[in-house]
């Protein structure tokens, strides 16, 4: 099934247009393609920040944070560490817990 596309017009600052043009030139694509890449990258970053915040506040588990951010648990543990969040659980302990739940 072909996804219906919609038009979006937007006024943006010259600096942001420079980002768009830079991506378009680097990837040899048009501005529309560059905007899509930048929007998707920004969305993933915002989801990661949201997941990290919820995990830091103890509102979700590391695996739920990983799922929200669209990355693996191992990657989420690394990202959390980069944000200065200390985990009480190592990756090996997490794996043992998952194995125990599967029994």
CA distance 95 to 99: 6
> Is residue 7 situated within a structural domain?
no
Residue ranges making up the domain that contains 77:
14-102
Whole-prediction pTM? 0.76
Whether 74 maps to a domain, the answer reads: yes
pLDDT at residue 3 in the model: 84
Which tokens sit at 25?
């030139």
Q: Is 54 exposed, middle or buried (0-12, 13-18, 19+ CB in 10 A)?
A: middle
Element (H, E) at 31: helix 31-56
Is the predicted pLDDT of residue 35 greater than 70, yes or no?
yes
Q: What is the mean pLDDT of residues 57-80?
A: 91
Residue 9 resides in a domain? no
**Residue 58 located in a structural domain:** yes
pLDDT at 83: 87
CA 95-99-101 angle, to 5 degrees, is 115
User: Does 66 reside within a domain?
Assistant: yes
- For the chain, the domain total comes to 1
Residue 73 in any domain: the answer is yes
- Domain annotation covers residue 43: yes
Flag whether 75 is in a domain.
yes
């Amino acid at each position: 099934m072909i996804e219906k596309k919609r038009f979006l017009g937007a006024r943006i600052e010259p600096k942001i247009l420079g980002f768009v043009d830079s991506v378009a030139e680097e990837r040899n694509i048009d501005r529309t393609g560059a905007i899509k890449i930048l929007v998707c990258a920004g969305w993933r970053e915002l989801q990661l920040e949201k997941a990290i915040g919820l995990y830091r506040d103890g509102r979700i588990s590391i695996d739920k944070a990983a799922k929200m951010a669209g990355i693996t648990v191992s990657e989420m543990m690394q990202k959390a560490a980069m944000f200065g969040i200390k985990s009480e659980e190592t990756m090996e302990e997490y794996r043992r817990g998952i194995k125990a739940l599967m029994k």
